[in-house]
Copies of this chain bind each other. A is one copy, B any other.
Amino acid sequence: MDLTVHLPRNLILKNPIIAASGTFGFGPEYARFVDIDRLGGVSVKGISPEPWRGNPPPRVWETPSGLLNSIGLQNPGLSAFLAEDAPFLRTLDTVVIANIIGHTVEEYAAVAQALDREPAIDAFEVNISCPNIKAGGITFGHDPDAAYQVMRRVRQATDKPVMVKVSPNMAEPWTVAEAVVEAGADMISAINTVIGMAIDLKRRQPALGGVTGGLSGPAIKPIALRIVYEIARRVRVPVIGMGGIQSPEDVLEFLLAGAEAVMVGTITFQWPDRMEGIIEALPNVLARYGFQSLKEAVGAAQRPALADEEGLAP
């Protein structure tokens, strides 16, 4: 079965499985363990104009079927990325997506502009769920207008395909998706981690150095599916779904909910080669559920209208 995914601006994935940002470094780390060229794509760790230090450790904590992290977007900054990481990425025969972060609209634009000229980078993922210190702690990702501004400036900075990554930590994430599509986003990726926390009973303190953290892994799959489903029925651009994917069946759930491709994160820590396993199994699993092609599965569980959900309470 052909697993190729055709995305806007001629972005073509060999298959719908992309390594999720922040869980796959800048590529070389996992190169010993995974045949990266077999993946549909790789979204690298978030890149800011200047280096970011990140949060104090501990930075990870296990929860039931989940993982809390408070990495705090540590990254070496744009110049170090260009000097040290871009050369390796240029050697890859797969789609490389630059995940970009910033404190201000201009910082996002600066990274996009610099990487627009970098041949290693095939597309951008604008991560607007990081704290915006200038706007008083409200993140860009929770404010459709701010998200619109970021996307508009990024759009001016590059003609490469751009997706915006949506935060689940708000009542109606689709309002942000709609705003950035309006501002020229070619795709939406969803979801980023869900804010959570754990208490270390022995130390009588928040378990993470960053106090709160982002929850990922199978625990958040239902939250992710619902947001992907809601966004896919509202925007006309492709949605890249993620959150807790562990198996080809999980991938199918996201496809049926409306995603055209998916990203895979936390499970890679346990099973570095799981993404390859999923790619291998996907045609059979699609066939087992009666799908002749990948495309046929996309949105197959979407209900026709928005109206029929009115009046339903959880």
Asked if A310 is an interface residue, CB under 8 A from chain B, the answer is yes
A216 to chain B, nearest CB (A): 10
Q: Which residues of B lie under 8 Å from residue A205 when comparing CB positions?
A: 301, 303
Whether the Cβ atoms of A223 and B196 lie closer than 8 Å is yes
A195 to chain B, nearest CB (A): 6
Asked if A289 is an interface residue, CB under 8 A from chain B, the answer is yes
Contact with B along A299-314 (1 / 0, CB 8 A): 0110100001111111
Whether the Cβ atoms of B142 and A199 lie closer than 8 Å is no
A216→B200 CA distance, assembly (Å)? 22
Residues 66-82 of A contacting B (Cβ, < 8 Å): 66, 68-73
Asked if A225 is an interface residue, CB under 8 A from chain B, the answer is yes
Residue in chain B with minimal CB distance to A210: B312
Q: Which residues of B lie under 8 Å from residue A170 when comparing CB positions?
A: 170-171
Knowing A68-B222, A171-B142, A301-B204, say if A313 contacts B196 (CB, 8 Å). Answer: no
A309→B55 CA distance, assembly (Å)? 10
Whether the Cβ atoms of A257 and B212 lie closer than 8 Å is no
Contact among B71, B213, B218, B314 with A72 in the assembled complex (CB-CB below 8 Å): B314
A144 to chain B, nearest CB (A): 12
Contact with B along A224-267 (1 / 0, CB 8 A): 01100100000000000000100001001100110000000000
Residues 40-80 of A contacting B (Cβ, < 8 Å): 55, 63-66, 68-73
Residue in chain B with minimal CB distance to A306: B137
A214→B314 CA distance, assembly (Å)? 5
Knowing A201-B253, A215-B223, A219-B219, say if A312 contacts B66 (CB, 8 Å). Answer: no
Residue in chain B with minimal CB distance to A55: B312
Stoichiometry, as copies per complex, reads 2
A103→B63 CA distance, assembly (Å)? 36
Whether the Cβ atoms of A63 and B201 lie closer than 8 Å is no
Asked if A185 is an interface residue, CB under 8 A from chain B, the answer is no
Q: Which residues of B lie under 8 Å from residue A252 when comparing CB positions?
A: 199, 201
Q: Which residues of B lie under 8 Å from residue A257 when comparing CB positions?
A: 197, 199
Q: Which residues of B lie under 8 Å from residue A160 when comparing CB positions?
A: none
Asked if A202 is an interface residue, CB under 8 A from chain B, the answer is yes
Q: List 24 A-B contacts (CB under 8 A).
A: A65-B66, A69-B314, A70-B313, A72-B312, A72-B314, A130-B313, A170-B171, A171-B171, A193-B314, A194-B223, A197-B225, A197-B257, A198-B221, A199-B256, A206-B303, A210-B312, A211-B312, A212-B229, A212-B312, A212-B314, A213-B222, A213-B314, A219-B220, A219-B222
Give the B-binding residues of A (Cβ under 8 A).
55, 63-66, 68-73, 129-131, 133, 137, 142, 169-171, 193-202, 204-206, 210-215, 217-223, 225-226, 229, 244, 249, 252-253, 256-257, 289, 300-301, 303, 308-314
Q: Report the 4 A-B pairs with minimum CB-CB distance, sorted nearest first.
A: A196-B222, A64-B218, A197-B226, A214-B314
